[in-house]
Structure 1
């Protein structure tokens, strides 16, 4: 599911927000806090040993407050994710309709119909994933979102209604945040008991999905063919709200 087996996590000297990922370029960043990952990784280690939701919530609180610099900084880290997500939403909405916009991105609706879902994912990611440091994360999030919502059957554009497109967007954002957290846990994953990692990852992903559903969903209810700029804004506001909720989780 995740990348825990090979993840080392960021070092404390690495930027809070890499330049390619910054959703608010030009705005100053706070000074790096020494050992900013310590409380988060320690709390996540406790969660890995206990499996308790309360311990996971505490770890996410430390992730939001200290590891990522707080709600004013953490959501900035996902700028490339927002941009690619708004592209994904627009292209999928086009495929669900007349396919005109998708054609301009080299993704032809008629050519996708009846293709294996992995082929469709490959074509989407080839067209939409930016060549930057978040490319693998974005590609993985798109693939997982498409398969989670549409399944593994051959692609049928008629199944891609507005509800499905919105569900794919929410799953995409959830998967991107999930991958980021899994990577930042770093070597703490070694504290998990044998065979416990999949369950810990699954519980983390479900926690992220649930909070994104209640924060992103209301912004999309009743909307169709939402402009790219608004989708970008909706995703950023969603993570602003998520970070605020997580920050409230106490020690």
Structure 2
């Protein structure tokens, strides 16, 4: 826990999209100087009083204003969903994947080494690399839980679905905790911060699971990288639409 303590977060005047997004995605939308206020006030109340309702309200503020809206969110999370598509391509055995690793080559290796190899391969070198690495480590650790040495025969549709849901959940969680910035400093103790983080992660996971998990059926192995990218993008749009009503 304590992931929220890593920085002060952006200011209200920070660009809605970071500098490392593709040039074709840069928005001309002007960020509102108070766009982060509602999010940070709700998180601040939550870490002071421990209210799950305030965490829920924080998600509403985030979707409506702090993030710039659902379409900006899809663009802002672009590097994250690209890495997610790469992760999917490796575990689905896609013939389209552009990486030099495949499941068969990983057989018999210690799972912690497999996880490290994949996250290093996919995290890239840009402003979201740390988020991708952290989210992917957690997603792979959960999906491969109980497996000490890697076995490709253990990778089922359910494992892939769990991995992708966890990866998107953790990525969004890390982005929100970062954007909440100094609001976390309003807590009296680390235990309270940990509780709010758990509540936030759980609320995110619930809606990600509803929107994304049904996509992972027996024909998931036929999906291309582009289709998985679009599935993640559509899930983000639907998640933000849900939160807008909070």
- d(CA) in 2 for partners of 1:26, 1:120: 33
Match of 1:73 in 2: 72
What per-residue deviation string (whole Å, max 9, x for no partner) do you get for residues 49-73 of structure 1? 2322221111111111111112232
User: Taking structure 1 as reference, are residues 2 and 239 closer, same or farther at Cα in structure 2, changes over 3 Å only?
Assistant: farther
TM-score by length of 2: 0.91
Return 5+ residue gaps in structure 2 as ranges. Answer: none
Aligned partners of 1:26 and 1:101: how far apart in 2? Answer: 24
The answer to which of 109-118 and 127-136 deviates more is 109-118
TM-score by length of 1: 0.89
CA contact (8 A) 2:10 2:179 kept: yes
Q: Distance in 1 between matches of 2:95 and 2:219?
A: 20
**What count of residue pairs does the alignment treat as equivalent?**
243
| 1:33-72 equivalent positions in 2, closer than 5 A | 33-72=32-71
| 1:180 paired residue number | 175
Residue 234 (structure 1) aligns with: 231
Structure 2 match to 1:165 = 160
CA distance in 1, matches of 2:36, 2:244: 15
Q: 1:149 aligns with which of 143, 147, 159?
A: 143
Please state whether the residue corresponding to 1:58 is helix, strand or coil. Answer: helix
The 3 A distance-change label for structure 1 pair 182 and 28 is closer
Q: 2:3 maps to what in 1?
A: 3
Unaligned stretches of 5+ residues in structure 1: none
Q: CA RMSD in A?
A: 2.0
User: Contact 1:85–1:172 at 8 Å: present in 2 too?
Assistant: yes
Paired position in structure 1 for 2:196: 200
2:216 to 216, 220, 223: 220
**How far off is 1:114 after superposition?**
2.6
Structure 2 residue 101 is the aligned partner of structure 1 residue 107: yes
Question: Contact conserved, 2:96 with 2:225, CA < 8 A, in 1?
Answer: no
